[in-house]
Amino acid sequence: MTALYIDADACPVKTEAERVATRHGVTMYVVSNGGLRPSANPLVETVIVPDGPDVADIWIAERAGPGDVVVTGDIPLAAKCVAAGAQVLKHNGEALTAANIGNVLATRDLMADLRAADPFRQGGGKGFTKADRSRFLEALERVLRAARSAK
């Protein structure tokens, strides 16, 4: 059965994902190391993992597979999930696939190297917009529909 995994730390679309998962009757796992208010929705399971580097990522990566959907902004986690056959979406609705995950990983690594080489380099990612939220909802709807029909 299809499952939806949410890498919940710093995820701006948990509420939207819950609405879509509920509409499709899909179990949603909200995985973090704490600090989240559990949902009363019976289809939403809050998973609290121990503190530690990448513990939530490991929990998701060990379970996600073909027919599942993962929502994360963590590129190494996305790469593991794509390799396991899961469909992966970033918070802005961008799909991470076998065709693009290599380039995304390389860009992430390059940017990390550039930041390390220039400690005064300022800036961050773009802000999360209403358009990003809308793209995410549309993408999640499409991906969940496809995942459910594939299983």
Domain boundaries along the sequence of the chain: 3-121+136-150
Sequence-ordered list of residues with C-beta below 8 angstroms from that of 5, at least 6 positions apart, any chain: 28, 29, 31, 60, 63, 64, 68, 69, 70, 71, 72, 81, 86
Q: pLDDT at position 13, please?
A: 96
Domain at 3-121+136-150, CATH class: alpha beta
Q: Write down the pTM of the prediction.
A: 0.87
Sign of CA dihedral 138, 144, 146, 149: negative
**Residue 53 pLDDT more than 90?**
no
Average pLDDT, the chain: 89
Higher confidence at residue 125 or residue 59?
59
Euclidean distance between CA atoms 144 and 151, whole angstroms: 11
Q: pLDDT at position 147, please?
A: 85
Q: Determine the average pLDDT of the residues in 45-54.
A: 92
**Residue 30 pLDDT more than 80?**
yes
pLDDT digits (tens, 9 = 90+) for 2-29: 999 999 988 999 999 999 999 999 999 9
The alpha helices in the chain, defined as continuous H runs, are: 14-24, 55-63, 75-83, 101-117, 130-150
